[in-house]
Structure formats: C-alpha cells, structure tokens
Structure 1
Amino acid sequence: MKTLGMIGGTSWHSTIAYYRLINQIASKIIGDWANPPLIIHSINIELMREQNKEKINTTYLETAKKLQTAGAEAIVICANTPHMVYDFVQPKINIPILHIADATGKEAQGLGLKKLGLLGNRPTMTGSFIPKVLMDNYGIETIIPDKEYIPQSHEYVSKELTQGVFSEGAKQFYLKQIELLKARGADGIILGCTELPLLIQQSDVDIPTLATTDLHAQMAVDFIFDK
C-alpha cells in the first residue's frame, strides 16, 4: 500500500468524512482487520475565513511539503474549496495532489454527462478550479446557479451544513436550484460540498448527482492500492 497524505481542517467535519470513507473503501480490499497508511495534517478553518489568498497558498504549500517529507506519496485535500491552491502548490512539490475535479470528471465521463450544474459555497461555485479541470481534461461544461442565489447557497453551506445542521429550508432551496440548473441544460449535478449528499439524496432528484467527497475518497483508495 502507498502512503497517502491528507490536508484537512476545512472543516474538521469534512476531514472525518474523508478518513471514514477511505478506510471503509479500503476495508473492502484488505478486510476490516487492517487499514491503509495515512498522514493527516489539520489546518485551522479560520485560515479560509480570512480570505487572504496569499496566506492560504503559503499555508497549504508548507503543509504539503511537511507531508511529503513525512513520507506521503500523494496528497488529498479533504474539501472542495481548498483546491483553489492546486495551481500554486502542485508545481512546487514532488508528489501528486489528487484533484477532486479529476475524480468528478472521470465519473461524469463514464456516465456520458456533458453539462454539470455545480452546487456548493461561493468560492467553489464561482472559482475556476473545478470548471477548468472538467473542461480541459474531460470536455465537460459546468454551470452554476444565477447570481441572486449564490449568497443563499453560501450561507446554507457555511452556517448550516458545515455545522451539522440539515434544515428543510436548505433542502428545498437546493432542490429548486437543481430544477433551475436542469432547465438550463444540466444533465448531472455536482454536490460540491462534503455535507450536501447528506441533505440531498439521489432519490430526491431525477438526474445523476455526483458526490465529490465519495468520488475523491475512491480516487484516494485507487492510488493507495495502485489501481
């Protein structure tokens, strides 16, 4: 098994989900009596709330180098939004960062999807770090909710979902967004927040949903076992 480095903390809820999923998937290969070698570095989530891009980049680079020195053979960033640092960090280290958009793109490509609606917080929806990878590597277009809905989506993610609150109001909001995105041509929906699949189930909608955390965890396990 290869050793995997994990950068967590944004949020710690998300980090737990990653750790659990990676071990659960790995146990299907090696059994419940064993587990893969993982090195976790948890960053204070206040870093992201400060919205200082230079400080965020520097902190993630320092952390990635620490994991590399500690023996990690690849790195998983345990959340969607921090992938904004990928283009800055990846060229400066000697091990791969397994990109969450690649995990999503491979699944979407396998399902024959061409246009994906993206739901999440403001940085995830408005940033280029997911849409660019999907278009450049897989030829998949990404669309996001109309501008008027982005603040509410950000609010639900930051104030409710990442705090473990799953309200009916949030669920109805996201179901409405999925219908609006579908009307604009989306043939699949990216649930671009670790907690969104806990709120929205595949049975709630009639187009494929792509839970980025689940797909990313599977990508991590595939790397660990060199699949």
Structure 2
Amino acid sequence: MKTLGLIGGTSWHATIVYYRLINELVGKHIGTQENPPIIIHSINIKVMREQNLDKIHTTYLDVAQKLEKAGAQAIVICANTPHIAYNFVQPKINIPILHIADATGKEAAKLGLKTMGLLGNRPTMTKGFIPKILKNTYGIETLVPEEVNVARAHNFVSNELTHGVFTDKAKGFFLEEIGRLRERGAEGIILGCTELPLLIKKGDADIPLLSTTDLHAQMAVDFILG
C-alpha cells in the first residue's frame, strides 16, 4: 500500500470522518485486521477563519512539504475550502494532491449530470476553485445559491457545522436551498462542505446528492491500493 498524507483540522470533525472512511474502505479490500499507512498533520482552523490568502498558502505549503519529507506519496486535504491553496502548493511539491473537485467531477460525469448545484461555505461557493475544474475538465456547469442564501449557508457552516453542531433549522435551510437549485436547473447537488453529509443524508432529497467527503475518500483509497 502507498503512504497517504492527510492535511486536516479544518475542521477536526471532518478529519475524523476522512480517517474513518479511508480505513473502512481499505479494510473492505484487504481485511479489517490491517490498515493503511497514513500520516496526519492537523492545522488550526483559525488559519482559514482569518481569510488571509497568503497565510493560507504558506501554511498549506509548509505542511505539504513536511508530509512529503515524512514519506507521504500523495496528499489529501480533508476539506473543500482549503483547496483554494491547491494552485499555489501543487507546483512546489513533488507528490500529487488528490483534488476534491476531480473526485466529484468524475462521479457527476459517470452519472451523466451536466448541471450541478453547489452548497458549502462562501469561499467554496464563490471563489471558483471547484466550478472551474468541473467546467474545464468535465464540462459540468455549476449553480450556487443567491447571495442572501450564500450568506445564510456560510453562517450555518462556519458557526455551527464546523463546531459539530447539527440543528433541524440548518437542515431545513439546506433542504429548501436544494429545492431552489433544482428549480433553477440543477440535476444534482454537490454537498461541498465536509460536514454537510453529516447533516443531509442521501434519502433526504429526491435528487442525486454527491458527498465530496465520500468521493474524496474513495479517491484516496484508490491511490493507496494502486
């Protein structure tokens, strides 16, 4: 098995989910009495909350280089938003960062989905680092909520979900937004916050829900097992 480096901490709740999923999925292939070699470096979520892009870039580059030096053969960033640092970090290291948008785009293309709604926090929905890959690599268009609902979604993600708080109010809002995106032409929904699949389950809506967490974890397992 190949050694995988995980960059976690944003949030630590999400990191736990990634670690559990990767071990469970690998166990299905090699048996539950074994587990894959994984190196985890957990970052203080404060780095993301300060919204200083230069600091985000340098922090993620420093951690990626440490993981590479420690023996990681690829890196998985255990959240959607920190992929904003991908274009800065990837050219400066010698191992691949497995991008969450590629994991998502491959699944959407497999399902024949051409227009996807994207839910997450404000940077994930508005900075374009996921929609650009979906469009340029997979020909998939991305819809995001109207501005007022971008703000509400960001509030729920930042002030509740990343703190491990999952409320009926938050779930009701996101289900309503799924309905609005569907009315605008979305054929499926990207749950683009690692904590969203903990709040919204696949049976909660009658439209395909793509959990970036699950798809990214599977991508990691495919790499580990070669």
State the TM-score, normalizing by the size of structure 2. Answer: 0.99
1:63-97 alpha-carbon deviations (Å, 9 max, x no partner)? 10111111111000000000000000001111100
Tell me what 1:6 maps to: 6
Aligned residues: 226
Tell me how far apart the structure 1 counterparts of residues 202 and 75 of structure 2 sit (CA, whole Å).
29
Tell me what 2:164 maps to: 164
Q: How does 1:67-216 map to 2 (within 5 A)?
A: 67-216=67-216
How far is 1:39 from its partner? Answer: 0.6
Tell me how far apart the structure 2 counterparts of residues 66 and 164 of structure 1 sit (CA, whole Å).
28
Give 3-state SS (helix, strand or coil) of 1:5's partner.
Answer: strand
Tell me how far apart the structure 2 counterparts of residues 196 and 9 of structure 1 sit (CA, whole Å).
16
Tell me how far apart the structure 1 counterparts of residues 166 and 7 of structure 2 sit (CA, whole Å).
25
Tell me how far apart the structure 1 counterparts of residues 33 and 23 of structure 2 sit (CA, whole Å).
11
Give every structure 1 segment of 4 or more consecutive aligned residues whose post-TM-superposition deviation is greater than 2 Å: none
How far is 1:217 from its partner? Answer: 0.2
Which residue identity does 2:24 align to in structure 1?
Q
Tell me what 2:219 maps to: 219
Which residue identity does 2:89 align to in structure 1?
V
Tell me what 1:42 maps to: 42
Tell me how far apart the structure 1 counterparts of residues 195 and 151 of structure 2 sit (CA, whole Å).
18
Give 3-state SS (helix, strand or coil) of 1:170's partner.
Answer: helix
Q: RMSD value over aligned CA atoms?
A: 0.7
Which residue identity does 1:69 align to in structure 2?
K
How far is 1:107 from its partner? Answer: 0.5
How far is 1:140 from its partner? Answer: 0.4
Give 3-state SS (helix, strand or coil) of 1:75's partner.
Answer: strand
Give 3-state SS (helix, strand or coil) of 2:71's partner.
Answer: coil
How far is 1:142 from its partner? Answer: 0.6
List alignment gaps of at least 5 residues for structure 1. none
Give 3-state SS (helix, strand or coil) of 1:158's partner.
Answer: helix
Give 3-state SS (helix, strand or coil) of 2:60's partner.
Answer: helix
Give 3-state SS (helix, strand or coil) of 1:10's partner.
Answer: coil
State the TM-score, normalizing by the size of structure 1. Answer: 0.98
How far is 1:194 from its partner? Answer: 1.3
Identity of aligned residues (%): 69
